Amino acid sequence: MSDSELRKDDTTATTVARVAAGEWIALGAFVALALFVHQQILGPLTDAGYADGDAVNNAALFPRLIANLILGLCAIQFVQLLRRRVQLSAEFMYDAPRENALRCLVGFGILVGYLLGLPVLGFYPATVLFLLAMFLTLKTRPVWIAALVAVLLTLAIGFVFEELLRVVLPLGRFGLTL
């Protein structure tokens, strides 16, 4: 059986005896993300008056719920890492091709660009560009469908957050909103 056939057929999970350093780094990154969200809620959002009020008028409610969910999942992962009972699925048993590694780095760069461009461009233009860039990085074809999905998904997300959850989205220099 060739290596490529083994990759296709091996769908079982394996318990590893030693946890890789990357697992700890990923756990630390998610904890840092959740703590950053809490810092933003307790700092700028509270100072601006967006972090108080009832469930409808509290812009910090949804980010706080997500940050708490991330911290809860991190606690579960922390216990699993301490017990060294981490399950590795088949796709982690082999080295990633160079193209996949490069695609991950490009995706990370696009995400950083999105985060830096969000305050300048605003939610709607930045999110359309972010989604389109990610779709193209993932080789979505045809391009016009990727662009259409990026626009429609951005409008749907904006509607849910602005109208249903009452979250204030970044306006940027263009001031675009629903």
Residues 6+ apart with CB under 8 A from 37: 63, 64, 66, 67
CA distance 56 to 107: 34
- pLDDT (0 to 100) of residue 149: 95
Enter the pTM of the model. 0.58
Q: Which helix (H) or strand (E) is 129 found in, with range?
A: helix 123-137
Look at residue 12 in the predicted model and tell me its pLDDT: 55
Q: What is the pLDDT of residue 3?
A: 44
Angle (nearest 5°) at CA 101 between 138 and 87: 100
List pLDDT tens digits, range 27-64: 899 999 899 888 877 877 677 676 666 555 566 777 88
Confidence of residue 71 (pLDDT cuts 50, 70, 90): very high
* Confidence (pLDDT) at 147: 95
**Confidence label for 8 from pLDDT (cuts 50, 70 and 90):** very low
Is 117:126 a contact under the CB 8 Å cutoff?
A: yes
pLDDT digits (tens, 9 = 90+) for 110-161: 999 999 998 889 899 999 999 999 999 988 889 999 999 999 999 999 998 8
